[in-house]
Amino acid sequence: MADPRPSAADAHAQEEPRSESAVTVLVALVANGLIAAAKTVAALLTGSASMVAESAHSWADTGNEVFLFLATERAGRKPDESHPLGYGRDAYVWSMIAAFGLFAVGAAVSIMHGVQELLDPEPSGGFLVAYIVLAISFVLEGISFAQAFRQARGEAAEREKDLFSFVLQTSDPTVRAVFLEDAAALTGIGIAFLGILGHELTGSPVPDALGSILVGVLLGVVAIVLIQRNRRFLVGEEVDPVIRSAALTSLLERPAISAVTYLHLEYVGPARVFLVAAVDLEGNESERDVAVLLNQLERDIERNPRVVRAVLTLSAPEHAPLTP
């Protein structure tokens, strides 16, 4: 019987995606913490509605990175008796909490402050301070986004997908959250700059207030996308056809399996799946030998670090074989 324990190479392959995701989150956490503090000081000095919106945005992002780091750490725990499929779905729970935080703190505060500024404008000034802080924020956000972009682009290339499709479809919620939040942050900085510039050039607080509202709408859209994607993974999402085809090919390449008539692959965490298959076996073994062989095949499949649990049953005679 094949040794069911993962090799050192398998263990490394299992840890590498999670480790890179943790680095991506930590880079974003440090960057957003520094940005949030700088924007808050600038908002107090200038009274700019757009800067208030941006500071709320950055504080929301900073809190979100804490939740995303928790998601990365908790999802990496090993399966046990109480959780035979592991703790991978914890990543989607904490990521959804982060998305709700982005919606409630970032979007709601930004929109409410923008509306308030339209109805009851406050005096503002010190525009140079705002421009300097926005420029520093753009650099720091760019560093964080570059890390998320590098990770997402590399994983997208491995799966032969375009970058945007991969970001939306990846089973790793931390990559998706940091990528979209940083992209929204860079866009938000541009909106805030235009709003403050419009305020300075026209003397009217309307462009600044509208900038705050637009930043809030942007954050709301991002939050809704993140909530929707996490919800789908929490309730159970089957893998995409490319991964399913690769898994079917891998099963059929095993000498003991002559055909596969049923295959179900469901995500139970970032890059982790639960596999159920009905198979035809070579030969005409006794019932006891078949049970032993199926168990051996299951343990052998589970040596793949991306398969949390594999369950194999015998195919019914009337079921047609699947093809990759």
pLDDT for 260 beyond 90: yes
- The class that CATH gives domain 241-314 is alpha beta
Q: Is the pLDDT of residue 2 over 60?
A: no
pLDDT of residue 249: 92
Give the rounded percent of residues in the chain with a pLDDT score beyond 70.
93
Distance CA 199, CA 205 (A): 5
CATH fold, domain 8-235, is Alpha-lytic protease prodomain-like (1.20.1510)
Please count the other Cβ atoms lying within 10 Å of the Cβ belonging to residue 13. Answer: 15
- Average pLDDT, stretch 220-229? 91
Give this prediction's pTM.
0.77
Query: What is the rounded distance in angstroms from the CA atom of residue 225 to the CA atom of residue 116?
Result: 27
Q: Are 169 and 240 in contact (CB under 8 A)?
A: yes
Answer yes or no: is pLDDT of 50 > 80. Answer: no
Query: What does the alpha-carbon distance between residue 244 and residue 248 come to, in Å, rounded to a whole number?
Result: 6
Nearest to 285 by CA among 275, 276, 295, 277: 295
Predicted local confidence at residue 4, as pLDDT: 34
Provide the pLDDT for residue 64. Answer: 78
- Reported as a pLDDT band with limits 50, 70 and 90, residue 18 is low
In this predicted model, what pLDDT tens digit does every residue of 169-190 receive, in sequence order?
Answer: 888 888 898 899 889 889 988 9
Q: What is the pLDDT of residue 177?
A: 87
Most confident of 28-32, 234-238, 243-247, 316-320: 243-247
- pLDDT attached to residue 28: 81
The Cβ of residue 135 has, within 10 Å, a number of other Cβ atoms equal to 12
Q: Transcribe 96-154 into DSSP letters.
A: HHHHHHIIIIIIIHHHHHHHHHHHS------HHHHHHHHHHHHHHHHHHHHHHHHHHHH
Q: Quick one: which of 184, 200, 174 has its CA closest to 21?
A: 174
Q: Please give the pLDDT value at position 261.
A: 93
pLDDT of residue 148: 87
> What is the tens place of the pLDDT at every residue in 104-159?
777 888 888 789 888 888 776 678 888 888 898 899 889 889 988 998 998 888 87
Distance CA 266, CA 304 (A): 15
215 vs 53, more confident: 215
> For all residues of the chain together, what is the average pLDDT?
83
HSE-up of residue 202 (Cα within 13 Å, Cβ side): 11
Sequence spans of domains, the chain: 8-235, 241-314
Which range, of 71-75, 255-259, 288-292, 307-311, averages the lowest pLDDT?
71-75
Provide long-range contacts, Cβ within 8 A and 24+ apart, for 263-267. 263/322, 264/238, 265/238, 265/239, 266/236, 266/237, 266/238, 266/239, 267/88, 267/171, 267/233, 267/236, 267/237, 267/238, 267/239
User: Residue 10 has what pLDDT?
Assistant: 39
Averaged over 265-292, what is the pLDDT?
85
End-to-end CA distance of the chain: 27
Taking residues 20-31, report their average pLDDT.
Answer: 80
Q: Which of 16-25, 69-78, 88-97, 112-121 shows the lowest per-residue confidence on average (mean pLDDT)?
A: 16-25
% of the chain surpassing 90 pLDDT: 21
User: Is-contact 67 95, C-beta < 8 A?
Assistant: yes
Taking 3-state DSSP, the helix, strand and coil percentages for the chain, each rounded to the nearest 5, stand at 70, 10, 20
The whole-number average pLDDT for the span 85-95 is 87
Q: What is the pLDDT of residue 278?
A: 93
